[in-house]
Structure 1
Amino acid sequence: MTAALRDDGAGAAGRRVAMLVGNGVRGDSRVQKVARSMADRGWEIVLFGRSATGRTERFVIGRASVLLLPVPRVVSGYDRARVRRPLPDPAVRAAYREARALLARWDAWDSGGRGDALRAASRGWLARHPAADALAAVLGSGPLAGPLRHAGTAVAGLVGRGGGWRALNPWLRDLELAFSPAVSAFRPDLIHAHDFHMVGIGARLARRLSTPARTVRWVYDAHEYLAGVEVPRRGDPRGRLRRRMLLGVEAEHIRRADAVVTVSEAIAERLRRDHALPVLPRVVLNAPWRPPAAANAAGEARPSVRAVVGLPDEVPLLLYSGGLAPRRGLATVVRGLAALPGVHLALVARDDDPDLAGLLDLAEHEGVRGRIHPAPYVAPERVVDYFESATIGLVPILHRPNHELSLITKYFEYLHAHLPVVTSDVRHMAETTRRLGVGEVFRAGDPEDFAAAVRRVLTHLERYRRRYSDRVTDPAARYRWEPQADALHALYRRLLCAAEPAAAG
């Protein structure tokens, strides 16, 4: 039995953990690693995610169960329908009426405030009296109704608590409606809410599911520094409302969490400062997980990105993995490739990434399309093997507040694949690259400086590779997943031990 499994009986066996994430799980390596590792340590894990197919989907990740739930647009769909026509279909209105009554009850339960209680009572009355609700719908129609509704929503967002997320983000309401029955039926002892989409849903579910005899604990896992992601442009009122709403939902609930974890020390410090947290959030790095050697010895061929794109070993192959949005800086790489004859680029990304076509058009314009090779993702536990055949790993991201604060997942993956790294000068990754001596740094957004950095690495390739040759000083050794998982396991145990007196009555 591996060390990871020896602790099964120490607080984990039979204890249920519901993990919540607002995506489809398959593309999220962090939630997959956390679910798998906690299940390996004896916790009964169900990872609840969002289905993109409209159907419930079930699969497993190691010992963890995954349940992807369809999210009907009960609230957001009704709001959209009212934009298109004054009186949506009666069935749509009926579903909306019932949903708003339920949400109002949850709001009142969550806050205990008189305003929420009155709103819950009025919504409940309308739900029990469809004729009155239909009359309200008619009275709310007409040529002025749409602009008035939009103005009312904006005002509600400006004055509402939590940044007005209840009014401004009907999608969050749809998520809560879809997830709550399934999570409640699971009866978790602990809820692990991944990322800001789930912070409010996790908090509210934990409160509703707790009883005087049984406290449901919950953990907020801040995957990024939200205040550094949502930065609207000047003269963008919708962007400012969105920023206020997203920061508001986090601010309203984060202090209620039994524990907060995040991905870097810098983000942990900012979360404590911004929200006056009594305890510094626990850092759980996005280090890659690799299965034990025995698990890899089943005769399955090791994946190779070089083989996938069909290049011989002697051809220099740059590697980028991840999303292709403009802030990721791939335009810098494509333009810089024109000054790197004979050098190829593998783009490991989703084949339906909305920005892929634009990048390939840019490559055509720059005359480098023949040297750029889209490549598919592989399972998280196979990523390091997949990357090892590349020559250099790239992190070309542009300057954004959130980008300065942590080492992103692909950076750790490059280290474990023993790749020299070429990164833009975003603060934390640039400092780490220079300190470890594993690569070169270029000015973000500067194609010429990018090309110069790549040339420096290619010229002294063996020097950078030697940084990984000593097992004692291997930079990857300090960024392993197992210590991260052990720390999270210990946190779960501490939280549920704290809940024991309540559970004992």
Structure 2
Amino acid sequence: MNQRDVRSWWRVAHLTTVHHPFDPRIFHKQLASLRDAGFDAHLVAPHERTERVRGIPIHGLPRPQNRAHRLALQPRVFRTARALDAALYHIHDPELLPLAGLLKTRTGAQIVYDMHENYRSKGAVLGRTLRGLERWAFRWLDHVLIAEASYRSILNGYAVPHTYIANYFRPRGDERSEEAAPIRTSPTRLLYTGTLSARRGLHTMTDLAAMVKRQGRPETINLVGICRYEHQRARAEAQIRNEGLHTVMERVGWDTYVLPSAMPPHRRRADMGLALFEQHPNHAGSIPTKFYEYLHYGLPLICSDIPLWRCFVERHGCGAVVPPGDPAAVLDVLDEWQAHPERYRRCAENARAAASQYRWAEMGERLTKLYRDVLRGSAHRAPPTG
């Protein structure tokens, strides 16, 4: 086998037109693990330039403004992916599945599809269309990854092999070696990290800030993430401006994507993590990734009372649940923790103790083993010897 054959067998490419190029699951977890395992791992994604970042080549695409623009990009995605001549293509968006089918037909490459989004929130027509695309592709995909155990039900009746790759937390270098911060006896600093939206509790958190302000309480709320919905940002901005909430609420990102590398300082300063999501079918079967991030920093959770989330919090004794859309219930939890600091301390200690169960290392090993198994079973190229 010549040098090109060996290199090509290890070449894999992740394709997305929806996700940010530095999406934590795609870039900082999956591609980083594949790079570390010796794969020639590439990313084709919207990015301002083609460059190599941390040893991973990113093949930049124009940033689409809407779904129509994304669909118009598909011929370019196909040409870029085809030129890479990868042995395996890893697809992150259902709208790219027809393109992936064409890649499979033209190249014989293995196709892995990653289900890490639930499409119920997209509306009845679009949601069913995307789910229909997935079910059509299940007949010919080589493997499916699921980010939530609840997604297994979507695969019922299809023979496609699948593997559970949970979206656990991967500490960066400085996060792996740092010592745990001392637990404060008077917790007042509340943190939310991740995408902001009404369904993810944006307006509940601004109402919470308003109550804190009116009652002259000591708490502060730090929102770190992007809100992609301009009308929702405008509503929140109006409330913040009219009620003077800037004294109790800090916003980082807001209309700009916040890189994962910018998150650690905010987590280190916080006393607890928020996830005050609305009741919605999308949330019923999924554990938010932020739960694992909060646990790593010893942050007790205050989250909406969604059955799966309640089980998680009660199993680990790492926080409290409140009715969705009820900021007064959050203040009740804070009052209890401030009146009984030993209860807060116990939740923080339990969070730290539980964190080790949700680290990415195990999932990264599972992913790289899966890639090797899929490629060794492939008729596209034989694996290198020796």
TM-score by length of 2: 0.84
CA distance in 2, matches of 1:325, 1:464: 28
1:185 aligns with 2:66: no
Match of 1:47 among 43, 46, 55: 43
Residue 28 of structure 1 and its aligned partner are, at CA, apart by 1.5
Residue 315 of structure 1 and its aligned partner are, at CA, apart by 7.3
Range with bigger deviation, 321-330 or 248-257:
248-257
Structure exhibiting the larger radius of gyration computed from Cα positions: 1
Residue 181 of structure 1 and its aligned partner are, at CA, apart by 0.8
Match of 2:208 among 333, 336, 360: 336
TM-score by length of 1: 0.65
Structure 2 counterparts to residues 269-418 of structure 1, below 5 A: 269-273=152-156, 276-278=157-159, 281-292=162-173, 316-340=188-212, 341-350=217-226, 354=230, 355-376=232-253, 379-380=259-260, 383-384=263-264, 386-418=266-298
1:170–1:373 CA distance, 2 compared to 1 (3 A)? closer
Q: 1:129 maps to which residue? A: none
More helix as a share of residues: 1
Structure 2 counterparts to residues 35-184 of structure 1, below 5 A: 35-51=31-47, 57-70=49-62, 170-171=68-69, 173-184=71-82
Tell me the C-alpha RMSD between the 2 structures. Answer: 3.2
CA distance in 2, matches of 1:504, 1:290: 35
CA deviations 1:47-75 (Å, max 9, x no partner) are 00024x5xxx12334221112212789xx
CA deviations 1:167-211 (Å, max 9, x no partner) are xx754541321201111110000001113233333233222222x
Cα contact 1:388–1:419 (8 A) shared by 2: no
Cα contact 2:200–2:278 (8 A) shared by 1: yes
Q: Secondary structure at the match of 1:219?
A: strand
1:438–1:183 CA distance, 2 compared to 1 (3 A)? same
Cα contact 2:87–2:380 (8 A) shared by 1: no
More strand as a share of residues: 2
Higher relative contact order (CA 8 A, sep 6+): 2
Query: Which contiguous aligned blocks of 4+ residues in structure 1 show a shift greater than 6 angstroms?
Result: 294-297, 312-315
Q: 1:101 maps to which residue? A: none
Residue 292 of structure 1 and its aligned partner are, at CA, apart by 4.1
Residue 386 of structure 1 and its aligned partner are, at CA, apart by 3.8
One-letter amino acid of the counterpart of residue 18, structure 2: N
CA distance in 1, matches of 2:341, 2:206: 22
Q: Secondary structure at the match of 1:490?
A: helix
Residue 24 of structure 1 and its aligned partner are, at CA, apart by 5.7
CA deviations 1:328-366 (Å, max 9, x no partner) are 112112212333322111010238763334213223445
CA distance in 1, matches of 2:14, 2:335: 44
Q: Secondary structure at the match of 1:180?
A: helix
CA deviations 1:262-318 (Å, max 9, x no partner) are 211112x22223xx2225631111112123469979xxxx9x9xxxxxxx9977111
Residue 326 of structure 1 and its aligned partner are, at CA, apart by 1.2
Q: Secondary structure at the match of 1:388?
A: helix
Count of matched residue positions in the alignment of Structure 1 and Structure 2: 366
Percent identity, aligned pairs only, is 26
CA distance in 1, matches of 2:319, 2:198: 23
Residue 486 of structure 1 and its aligned partner are, at CA, apart by 0.4
CA deviations 1:83-139 (Å, max 9, x no partner) are xxxxxxxxxxxxxxxxxxxxxxxxxxxxxxxxxxxxxxxxxxxxxxxxxxxxxxxxx
1:348–1:23 CA distance, 2 compared to 1 (3 A)? same
CA distance in 2, matches of 1:504, 1:497: 7
CA distance in 1, matches of 2:341, 2:98: 48
CA distance in 2, matches of 1:405, 1:184: 36
- What are the ranges of 5 or more consecutive residues in structure 2 without an aligned counterpart? 1-5
Q: Secondary structure at the match of 1:399?
A: coil
Q: 1:438 maps to which residue? A: 318
CA distance in 1, matches of 2:114, 2:159: 16
Q: 1:224 maps to which residue? A: 117
1:425 aligns with 2:305: yes
Q: Secondary structure at the match of 2:32?
A: helix
- What are the ranges of 5 or more consecutive residues in structure 1 without an aligned counterpart? 1-10, 77-168, 211-215, 233-239, 305-311
